[in-house]
Structure 1
Amino acid sequence: MTGRTAVITGIGVVAPGGTGTKAFWETLTAGRTATREISLFDAADFRSRVAAECDFDPRQEGLSPQEERRMDRAAQFAVVAAREAWADSALDRGGLRPERIGVSLGSAVGCTMGLEDEYVVLSDAGRFWEVDPTYRVPQLYGYMVPSTLAVEVAWASGAEGPVSLTSTGCTAGLDSVGAGVQMLVDGLADVVVAGATDAPISPISVACFDSIRATTPNNADPEHASRPFDLHRDGFVLGEGSAVLILEEKSAAMRRGAHIYAEIVGYANRSNAFHMTGLKPDGREMAEAIRVALRQAKLDPQAVDYINAHGSGTRQNDRHETEAFKRSLGERAYQVPVSSIKSMVGHSLGAIGSIEIAACALAIEHRVVPPTANLHHPDPECDLDYVPLTAREHDVDTVLSVGSGFGGFQSAMLLTRSGRA
């Protein structure tokens, strides 16, 4: 990333624990978990019956009845987050050329809720193998095309520049922001609306994760079910939400006197070419992504002040990325605080990477490291400083955020306080 530098000038978040960036940050810094019994459908027959749900009312968030009817829940999240990000940026959209506004959105599972709801109707709750299309809603085709999510954000943003949808599983939220940065660096846009969204808390998604026993069966204690790096962890907690960032070229943002949360100075992704859901314990591929991102940012490991971990709360992931940090950062891995916000807001699949980038930018802004909630019994295999239970005041100038996804995707991104790198 040479020449043009991307900076974050606006943040919008829809997340468990409260809609809006302020509510999101308060949830994190309070160490408050937003996990509970699933209420979006009757989960009585499922192995895992807990999730991190958003308390989201589309009407209260300013969506019209037509928008609510047209858009899947994931699209609603993204549009509301985008509107907040635009307002936060204080950009005068009237002074922008629409063809110079781009959109880069990520999602792992697209319009899952809309698709499932429509299948239930068209098949008469599964009674008919051949569904009856005469009962479909006009929006059904849009539900089947994940790029619809990016289109909705483009319409809401008046964006006539490049528009894309990245779907790389659980790293989609990191990869979409990386793609948005590249739009700016390549001069394809002057402003990019970048982020991700997912609303996967539906029977089909829960059943899929149940079948591979990836999610926690700790239904008796939902508040403490998400326990990354804890010896007694037993799977991740499914979540939902969206985060959208306004990215601008640094010099342009400075000329207009914009508030800059952070610069995005490095990004890389790798694949382990190994297994759909399995991870090698040595963390080699994630370590390589981290090294490339550091090299791109022209930073050495000593510059990293905080690591936002993937921290899903599965033994193989926690062990994998712990080794990746050691392999890529050396002794610095033992000195830098690490934490997982999934302990509080769950794992929203493709959305979580962007939600975590928003958290990283806010950590730089407020010089506070969010905690890893529910970490009462550290796993001896995970022997780094995981900031248990309580947020920590800390000089945060450079943040490393990582993601790991089914299919072998491994991504890393570096953010710095504006002016440091």
Structure 2
Amino acid sequence: MNAVPRGRDTAPSVAVTGLGVLSPGGAGVDALWRDCERGTADFRTIEHFDVSRTGARIAGFVPADAPDAPAPGRPGRLPYLLHRATTDALADAEARTGRRGVPTVLVLGSTDSGDCPSAEAWRDWRDGRSPNAGAGWTPHSAPAWDAPVIQVGNASAAGATALGVGADLLRDGTAERVLVCGVDTVTETAYQGLASLRTLSPRGCRPFSTRRSGIRVSECAAAMVLESSSPHAYAHLRGWGGSNEASQAARPDFEGVAKAIRRALRDARTEPEELGYVNAHAAGTRHGDVAELRALEEVLGERLPRIPVVSTKAALGHCQGAAGTVEAIVTVLTLVRGEVLPTLGLEDRDPRWDHLNLGDKSPDHPPRTAMTISCGLGGSNVAVVFGREA
């Protein structure tokens, strides 16, 4: 979808009416915001599989806040996180809009295709008809969505791509309400794979730092409800764009990132000078941060130093397939609260970027339009534009 983004006359914005999140900072948007502001995430040693040969032993985990929550590595961990986030997001949307019982499509962004149940499988599981019933956590209520499930799996860009797919379903009149969720847990397969690519850092994510050396993996479930229109919206998803371009599988090229940014701005009918905030992918890799900032310079030119460019991965870690969705929630909260949080850990920022505002300087005005960027293995790049107004 949206291979060549359309203009605003045929691709109107969609309303963001509900939010739900379980992050390493805790449950809810206030815990997420507090973590991004103060760095309170639950980072601890991985214990459910052997990490002795990976060079990195720490990951971010959603803190246990319910007695029935499966522990990391236990059956049902991912469905539990998915169920909690989507239920909270839909309840939020229903409370804000007063619209209940609306057929809801789930668009799921995840790198884990084996542990994401369909609506039918989930109901079978809940009602004891599934062969896996009793093997782990069983939901106590129906899933928040009761319509088709679409799964997106383009690595770390999955959560952002899911937002674009959801927006297009609404624009085309295919769906009345879309529930987008990015979700991933810390699994041995993904962790060992990232270790083999030498992308893990024992020091964690240090975006824009001279000592950046890779990522720290985290689990997360982040959900956003999208609707065609609503007077009760948090903000509006104005447009999105993507590209699939890289010369090396494990690092983005600036040309590919720049294409995604340009396409998103065009789809949103937004000029570069309108942007007041960028939530960068900025995972703290040696080459990725450089490529992304170069792409922003390519598109935004002399305006870039006046726009806060922030990475939340220093606080949250890299939430894998959920990264694009949870960072989109931070972007929406930035517009709603009118406050720009800094990139944490800038004590040793790379001097090449001393001229940029990495969230360490308050903007002249609260941002009204913002962009979030996600980059995935294999050259998948996605940018999503949000605005306070449609």
C-alpha contact (below 8 Å) 1:6/1:247 kept by paired residues: yes
> Alpha carbons of 1:356 and 1:18: their partners in 2 closer, same or farther (altered >3 Å)?
same
Q: Does 1:170 align with 2:147?
A: no
Structure 1: how far apart are the matches of 2:146 and 2:74? 19
Q: Alignment partner for residue 199 of structure 2, among 201, 214, 226?
A: 214
The correspondence for 1:82, drawn from 59, 83, 86, is 86
* Cα deviation code 1:103-130 (max 9, x no counterpart): 111111334799xxxxxxxxxxxxxxxx
Asked whether 1:356 is paired with 2:327, we answer yes
Which SS does the other structure have where 1:239 is aligned? coil
The yes-or-no answer on 1:276 pairing with 2:249 is yes
- Match among 234, 246, 256 for residue 261 of structure 1: 234
* Counterpart code for 1:396: P
Are 2:305 and 1:334 equivalent residues in the alignment? yes
Partners of 1:364 and 1:108 lie apart in 2 by 28
SS at match of 2:346: coil
**Aligned residues of 1:13 and 1:20 also touching (Cα < 8 A):** yes
Give runs of aligned pairs for residues 11-410 of structure 1, distance below 5 A.
11-41=19-49, 43-57=51-65, 59=67, 72-89=76-93, 90=95, 91-92=97-98, 94-96=100-102, 98=103, 101-111=104-114, 138-139=131-132, 156-160=143-147, 162-199=148-185, 201-218=186-203, 225-250=204-229, 253-254=230-231, 258=232, 260-280=233-253, 283-383=254-354, 384-388=356-360, 395-410=366-381
Alpha-carbon separation, structure 2, partners of 1:380 and 1:349: 28
More deviation in 357-366 or 19-28?
A: 19-28
Greater Rg over alpha carbons, structure:
1
Provide Cα deviations, 1:114-161, integer angstroms capped at 9, x if missing partner: 9xxxxxxxxxxxxxxxxxxxxxx9349xx9xxxxxxxx9x9512422x
Greater helix share, 1 or 2?
1
- Runs of 5+ unmatched residues, structure 1: 115-136, 144-151, 219-224
The unaligned stretches of length 5 or more in structure 2 are: 1-7, 118-129
CA shift, 1:278, in A, is 3.0
Change (3 A) 1:327 1:155: farther
> Is the alpha carbon distance of 1:245 and 1:352 closer, same or farther for their aligned partners in structure 2, counting shifts above 3 Å?
same
Residue 317 of structure 1, CA deviation: 0.5
CA distance change for structure 1 residues 393 and 139 in 2, over 3 Å: closer, same or farther?
Answer: farther
Does structure 2 conserve the Cα–Cα contact (< 8 Å) formed by 1:28 and 1:344?
yes
The answer on whether the counterparts of 1:5 and 1:264 sit within 8 Å (CA) in structure 2 is yes
Is the CA contact 1:198–1:350 (under 8 Å) kept in the aligned structure 2?
yes
Normalization by structure 2: what TM-score? 0.85
**TM-score (normalizing by structure 1):** 0.79
Q: Structure 1: which amino acid aligns with 2:146?
A: A
What is the aligned-residue identity percentage? 31
Amino acid at match of 1:212: L
Deviation of residue 279 (structure 1)? Answer: 3.0
SS state at 1:413 partner: strand
CA distance in 2, matches of 1:71, 1:202: 12
Q: Distance in 2 between matches of 1:111 and 1:48?
A: 25
Structure 2 partner of 1:148:
none
Change (3 A) 1:58 1:71: farther
Tell me the SS of whatever aligns to 2:182: strand
Query: Following TM superposition, by how much is the alpha carbon of 1:75 offset from its aligned partner in structure 2, in angstroms?
Result: 2.0
Q: State the secondary structure of the residue aligned to 1:245.
A: strand
Aligned to 1:353, the other structure's residue is in SS state helix
User: Are residues 331 and 392 of structure 1, via their aligned partners in 2, closer, same or farther at CA, if it must alter by over 3 Å?
Assistant: closer
- The C-alpha deviation readout for 1:295-328, integer Å capped at 9, x for no partner, is 1111111100010000101011100001010011
Q: Given the superposition, is the C-alpha separation of residues 169 and 268 from structure 1 closer, same or farther in structure 2, using an over 3 Å criterion? A: same
Aligned equivalents of 1:393, 1:58: Cα separation in 2? 42
Offset at residue 414 of structure 1 (A): 0.3
Aligned-residue CA RMSD (Å)? 2.9
CA distance in 2, matches of 1:194, 1:215: 28
* Residue pair 1:368, 1:395 contacting (<8 A) in 2 also: yes
SS in 2 for 1:356: helix
In structure 1, C-alpha distance between the alignment counterparts of 2:100 and 2:372, rounded to whole Å: 34
Matched-pair contact (CA < 8 Å) for 1:265–1:297 = yes
> 1:35, 1:344 within 8 Å by CA — same for their partners in 2?
no
Asked whether the equivalents of residues 367 and 393 of structure 1 are also in contact (C-alpha less than 8 Å), the reply is no
Q: Which amino acid aligns with 2:92?
A: D
